[in-house]
Amino acid sequence: MNSKLLFVASAISRLLPESSGLSLKRALYRWAGVKIGKNVRLYSSARILGNGEVEIGDDVHLGPEVLVYANKDAKIAIGSHVDIGPRVTLLAGGHEIDVQGEHVAGRGKAQKIVIENGCWVGACSTVLGGVTLRPKTVVAAGSVVTKSPDHGTCLIAGVPAVLKKVYA
């Protein structure tokens, strides 16, 4: 992705009505290097940033004020039939802790995020780098996902998110 083109795509998208102009928003983000499938519903206030790689499958909903940030050498892959609620943050990067340095947030690191088919990420949740959400995982609103759950077709919740229920 090109971070400068993403900035332009985001700026133009923000001028459009929140939940309409979907084909133009998809085209803008494709132009900036995001791989976007069919029937992706992207709210105008949602933002895709960084200079990593972002892939979004078919029939995905990115709600209001979603932030997708893939830093250099990082990838965020969102499968098909995924719903991402308002104010969700997907952050595919971080820093190594460096207690010896002047800044404890030491050298940057890139970590992949994978959200497989059929997942639902509830409002105001955060998914950090290194996490894979297996098919049909539900992330409860307000959760912080720091580790991949061992199951799909499950509910995870909390800070940090833990397994609450496996659906049959």
Give the model confidence (pLDDT) of 38-88 as tens digits: 999 999 999 999 889 999 999 999 999 999 999 888 999 999 999 999 999
Look at the chain and report how many structural domains it folds into: 1
> Which residues lie across from 162 on neighbouring strands?
157
Is residue 7 helix, strand or coil? helix
Range of the domain at 143: 3-166
- Is the distance from CB of 144 to CB of 161 less than 8 angstroms? yes
Q: What are phi and psi of 14, to 5 degrees?
A: -65, -20
Task: State pTM to two decimals.
Answer: 0.93
145: burial class by Cβ within 10 Å (0-12, 13-18, 19+)? buried
CATH number at residue 162: 2.160.10.10
